[in-house]
Amino acid sequence: MHVNALDHVNIITDRLNETAEFYKALLGLERRDGPPPLTPQNAQWMYDAGGKAIVHINAVDCPRAFDREVQPGSLTGAIHHVALNCSGYDEVLARIGAMGLECQTNVVDAIGLRQIFTADPNNVLLELNFFGD
């Protein structure tokens, strides 16, 4: 198992357009629609110059593979999860089992992605992403 990189940060907001425009204006990120089943009305992904989506912005009513309460507008309360780009999907599932952790899995066929969601000891939600693994 290997962590390749921090994959993205997910922000839940009741000000989708304003938030996307903020990241565009401040950091020069390119605004694009998220992949299906997300819609332009409930999700915008902000891409860096290399074509990587590094900030995912979701409306409060956007469907989520792992849903939990967040507090848009409170300091860091809008952060839903931290995503890591990983390899070794089967090994990670085995480690989660051995550690007695709860997890949830998800598949996003549109972009060839398998995901594992689990929480750290501080209840920080981790989204472990496996592309083509």
What CATH number should be reported for the domain holding residue 46? 3.30.720.120
pTM here? 0.75
Q: Which residue has the higher pLDDT, 73 or 29?
A: 29
Residue 68 lies in a domain: no
DSSP 69-130: ---TTSTTTTEEEEEEEEE-HHHHHHHHHHHT---EEEEEGGGTEEEEEEE-TT--EEEEEE
| Tokens representing residue 87 in the block | 């390899």
Residue 118 lies in a domain: yes
| Tokens representing residue 1 in the block | 């198992």
Q: Are residues 83 and 58 in the same domain?
A: no
Q: What is the mean pLDDT of residues 93-114?
A: 94
Containing structural domain, residue 44:
1-62
Residue 69 lies in a domain: no
Q: pLDDT per residue over 64-96, tens digit each?
A: 999 888 888 877 788 899 998 999 999 999 999
Q: Are residues 10 and 57 in the same domain?
A: yes
Q: Are residues 58 and 83 in the same domain?
A: no
